[in-house]
Structure formats: structure tokens, C-alpha cells
Amino acid sequence: MPPDVVELFAELAAMPSPPGDERNVADRVTEYLRGVGLSVDEDDAGQQIGSNAGNLLSRMEPTADGEPIFLCAHLDTVPPEGAIEPVIDEEGIVRNAAGTILGADNKAAVAAMLEATRRILADSRPHAGIELLFTPKEEVGLMGAAAFDDSALNAKVGYVYDQAAPIGDVILGAPYAHSMQVRFHGRAAHSGMYPEEGRSAIAGAAKAIADLRLGRLDEETTANVGLIEGGTAGNIVPEWCTFLAEARSHDERKLADLIQEMLDAITFAGGLGECEVETEVQKSYQGYRFRRDDLAVRIASDALQAAGYEPRFGLSGGAADANVFNERGRACVNLANGMTDIHTPDERISVADLEGMVEVTLALVDTARDAA
């Protein structure tokens, strides 16, 4: 007998798969799908994005009328800082006994989609067409999905399970985001003998960061400086300093204004510190917004109700592979799957939620079939 969803999840979670090293998990997913009688195609995205695995695509041809759907989950996790030993506690919660991440993000989704696929085939469950996509390097910028040629998909409607919240949450929108790399160039000098001859790049960067509005700026907008590096020695006025910043907003115009405000503050600080400043701003991902009466949302809402969950609608402050597909004109909804405290040593998910998302997947298939 194939493993049930909990056993399958534990098996997948125990395989470390930091971004760029998804090979073992990709091979296990491929083996599983071939074991239930499906073919799997792997593209060359791995070579493009620096991973040892590409995107995996498997297809079940329709056996009934309705709306074809695609299901997408990512194979990578944030890098674990130790072993991963999934255990089930007395309350039915799956945790890592080894003190690092569990990997529910996103292997809980991988396991639920695979188990639902097995049951659809075993029960000859009628469906309108199902495509399964598994991507690498999501955690470092949605890179696998971005490198995927989505013309290979037939479905225009899809779902990811990548929201750390109770089952029932339906994400109607995710923010637009830009990243910013900033480099201050000062002038080196001996800090004890000739400090007046130096121009501190660290002081200039610190002034810029102090002037930036960071954190939650309003209900739609956030900004952060997450990394800073500079200098060469404690007795040298630092010649250079770099920092990485980001800004997100559900309002694209508001994001553009915030980025300009940040650039102005950085330029002003550079002038005060007599430093040259280089800035590079890049789009991280495109935001999106659904209405509740959009087809993809209606299918999700009806499926959740059929599976015994009350739909709740909200926005996300983060991104998922759904951002990539929505930018390309494929309506992809992010559904919560019950994972908790992701990216931390206390990451966990309940057995009930793992099994519940299998039922939600089956309900999505049934609801899409009836959406003709």
C-alpha cells in the first residue's frame, strides 16, 4: 500500500531541500506520480536558476466536462539548520524533533496534492482535467515558477496551498514588491591618525536607514532593511557599505511613491556624508487582486464548504507562486492549509489539516467539474 498523506508528508519533510538542492524531493515526487500511472516532464529551469532540479509537470486528461485546473506546490524550503525528524505528538500535531524547521511550507501541500491524485485515479473519479506542477527555488524569489513556460498548461484556473493560516482562508490579493540594493562609497582613512580625511560609508548608510520609514506603514504597505554590510577593519574609516531593502504594497501607485521617497532619502544621506551612492531597484513580483465572484474564487469557496470548512476572505502580505501565474493571466488562488509558525523551529501542522487538505483538493476537483 502507498503511504497515507501523513506518512508521505513525513517522508518528504525529512528530505532536506533548501533552494537549489531539491533533487531528492523532486525524484521522490516523480517516483510517486509514475507509481500511480502518470508521466512526469521536467523542464530545464534548474540550469537557468541554479538548481539541481527543474519544474515537474504531470497531467491527468479530462474524463468529464467542466473547468480544468492546475495545482502548484514548491519543492524547496528555507534552509534547515539541522536534521529534520518529523514526529506526531499526543495532540496529533506533526513537529520536528530535531530543533529546526519542519518543512510544512510547502511539503504539506505537495503531500496533499499527491494523495488526492492517487485517490482520484484509484476511484476513477471524474474530473475536467488536472495538471500538477512542482517548482524549485520558490523561497528565494519564486524563481522556479518564473522560469516555467506556462504555455505548457492547459488550465487557466489554478491553486496553491501556501498560506500559513487555518484551512478556510482564501487569499484575494497579494502585494506588489520591489527590492533595492544600495551601495555607499566613502573614502578610507586611518581612524586614529587621519579620521578627518575619511568619509564613512557606514555613517552615510546609517543616516539613510534612520531616515527611511520602515515596518508597517499602513494597512497595505510595508518596508524593511534586512541586510547591511560594510567596512574592512575597526581602525579604518569605512570606504564602502551596502544594504538591502524592500518595499511592498497592495497599491501599485503607493509602492512607486514609496520607492521614490526611499531613493530621495538615500541620495540626501549620501550628500550629507559626502559619499557616492549607487542604487539598483528591481521588481520582486507583481501583485494581484481577485473579486469574490471570480470563477477561481467561487470554485474555491464552494469546494471549502463542500469539504466542511467556512470560507474566509483576506489579503496576504507575502508572495507565492500564485503571483507569477496571475501576472501571466492565469487565475491562481492561494489557499491556507493549516501550517503554523513556518520558517521557525516551532513550525508544525496537524494530522487533521494534512488530511483535510486532501478532502479540499478532491472538492476542488469536483467543484471545477461541475463549473461547466
Write the DSSP string, 90-105. TTSEEEETTSS---HH
Catalytic status, residue 162: no
DSSP class per residue in 263-332: HHHHHHHHHHTT-EEEEEEEEEE--EE--TTSHHHHHHHHHHHHTT---EEEE-SS--HHHHHHHTT-EE
Domain ranges of the chain: 5-174+287-369, 176-285
Q: If you ran DSSP here, which 8-state letter would residue 220 be given?
A: T
The pTM of this model reads 0.92
pLDDT of 82 reads 92
pLDDT of 372 reads 64
CATH topology of domain 176-285: Alpha-Beta Plaits (3.30.70)
pLDDT of 343 reads 95
Q: Which three cell numbers stand for residue 179?
A: 527590492
Predicted confidence pLDDT, tens digits, the chain (372 residues): 566 999 999 999 999 999 999 999 999 999 999 999 999 999 999 999 999 999 999 999 999 999 999 999 999 999 999 999 999 999 999 999 998 999 999 999 999 999 999 999 999 999 999 999 999 999 999 999 999 999 999 999 999 999 999 999 999 999 999 999 999 999 999 999 999 999 999 999 999 999 999 999 999 999 999 999 999 999 999 999 999 999 999 999 999 999 999 999 999 999 999 999 999 999 999 999 999 999 999 999 999 999 999 999 999 999 999 999 999 999 999 999 999 999 999 999 999 999 999 999 999 999 999 986
> Which residues are CB-neighbours of 194 under 8 A, at least 6 positions away?
none
* Helix or strand (DSSP H, E) at 128: none
**Distance from the Cα of residue 252 to its chain's centroid:** 20
Whole-angstrom CA distances from 331 to 131, 159, 297, 340, 370 are 14, 8, 9, 26, 18
Q: Which three cell numbers stand for residue 103?
A: 518543512
Q: Indicate if 176-285 has the same CATH topology as 5-174+287-369.
A: no
Sign of the alpha-carbon torsion through 72, 115, 172, 296? positive
Q: Which of 262, 333, 325 is nearest to 296 (CA)?
A: 333
Count of C-beta atoms within a 10 Å radius of residue 196 = 7
CATH topology of domain 5-174+287-369: Aminopeptidase (3.40.630)
Among residues 21, 22, 67, 76, the one annotated as catalytic is: 76
pLDDT of 2 reads 60
pLDDT of 99 reads 87
Among residues 138, 150, 220, 239, the one annotated as catalytic is: 138
Catalytic status, residue 42: no
Sign of the alpha-carbon torsion through 31, 34, 35, 36? positive
Dmax over CA atoms of the chain, in Å, equals 82
Distance CA 246, CA 226 (A): 8
Asked if 269 and 201 count as a contact pair (C-beta separation under 8 A), the reply is no
